[in-house]
Structure 1
Amino acid sequence: MEKSKEKSHSWLDPMSVAPRRGSIYPAPFADPLAGREKRALGDALGLTQFGVNLVTLAPGAWSSQRHWHVHEDEFIYVLEGAVTLVTDAGEKVLRPGMAAGFPAGKADGHHLINRGDAPALYLEAGTRAEREEAQYSDIDMMARKENGRFVFMRKTGEPYP
């Protein structure tokens, strides 16, 4: 591990981790995520086998476009506020203390929406697969992990500009 990424301790104050705002999706798919902030706690603690993010969704914000992963499991645990989980089966409001899991390879697109009037806070954990593909249920987009980063393209494989 690079010296600059090593941690001298195994704890941190989550608010000391700079948030990533919005999304890396191509336009216009990033717009509903403008009110999302992620704090990469797993990265800050030097974890390499799975990621952990502390996510804040502002009122009206989405966690992502509705998607599913081929190789990576995902898990969320609601800490504050309420989020609406949207899947192929419909919608379910999740409140503090509730959790949801999304097994790798299960073709059931999911995302969270904050339909309330206060911010929602949840933990998100997921596998860090070397190879990955994500399918987006409601839009003409898919993603492949290349050199550790997601590249977004149309479902035909044509890249977005």
Structure 2
Amino acid sequence: MAIIRDPLNLPGRRKTIYPAEFAAGFDKRIKRALGDAGGLTQFGVNLTTLEPGAMSALRHWHRYEDECVFVLDGEVTLITDAGEDVLGRGMAATFPAGEPNAHHLVNRSSEPATYLEIGTRSPVEDVVYPDVDLRFQRRDGRAGFVRTSGEPYE
């Protein structure tokens, strides 16, 4: 068991793990790994803050992992294949594994927005980014980004 008394004091990561050509523009996103800090291994939990103008990720969907976001404060725009929805405090969105509905969050407001990201950690994963030449794959303990052709990024 772990008690995290002040999650906002956990180290915040502003960098992204995307390949260099997709990494720009994520410096206004702050992720704090609550699940890692608490020793969780079966699912991840991030306390994420999007400053005005920031986005959560490139639009994507997960083949093997469930994902959920719960807005704690502020307002974000959820952009999916179906269109856009504004999510405010107390609202949630869920993304079942295998459902090919690419999504991401954008803070179009003038104030920071904070939400929880919760997702399963599958030993096998494929993440599809339909708007760019990018896929993420995890197999046999190895993970990384590849192009849609399967060629790895350097």
Q: Provide the TM-score with structure 1 as the length reference.
A: 0.90
Output the CA distance in 2 between the equivalents of 1:35 and 1:72: 25
Indicate whether 1:11 and 2:3 are aligned: yes
Superposed, which structure 2 residues align to 1:36-55 within 5 Å? 36-55=29-48
Unaligned runs of 5+ in 1: 1-8
Q: CA deviation at 1:59?
A: 0.8
Q: CA deviation at 1:33?
A: 1.8
Output the CA distance in 2 between the equivalents of 1:114 and 1:137: 21
Alpha-carbon displacement from aligned partner over 1:25-77 (angstroms, at most 9, x marks no partner): 01231213221111100111111111110000111111000000011000000
Q: CA deviation at 1:21?
A: 1.1
Aligned to 2:104: 111
Output the CA distance in 1 between the equivalents of 2:64 and 2:27: 27
Alignment equivalent of 2:58, drawn from 57, 65, 77: 65
Output the CA distance in 2 between the equivalents of 1:140 and 1:147: 23
Output the CA distance in 1 between the equivalents of 2:113 and 2:142: 27
Residues 22, 35 of structure 1: 8 Å contact kept:
no
Alignment equivalent of 1:75, drawn from 44, 68, 71: 68
Output the CA distance in 2 between the equivalents of 1:80 and 1:113: 14
Output the CA distance in 2 between the equivalents of 1:98 and 1:150: 32
Aligned to 1:120: 113
SS at match of 1:115: coil
Q: CA deviation at 1:147?
A: 6.1
Unaligned runs of 5+ in 2: none
Q: Provide the TM-score with structure 2 as the length reference.
A: 0.94
Output the CA distance in 2 between the equivalents of 1:52 and 1:147: 23
Distance of aligned partners of 1:95 and 1:144 in 2 relative to their CA distance in 1, 3 Å threshold: same
Tell me the C-alpha RMSD between the 2 structures: 1.4
Residues 124, 140 of structure 2: 8 Å contact kept:
no
Q: Which consecutive segments of 4 or more residues in structure 1 shift more than 3 A?
A: 146-150
Which one-letter code corresponds to 2:21 in the other structure?
Answer: P
- How many pairs are equivalent? 153
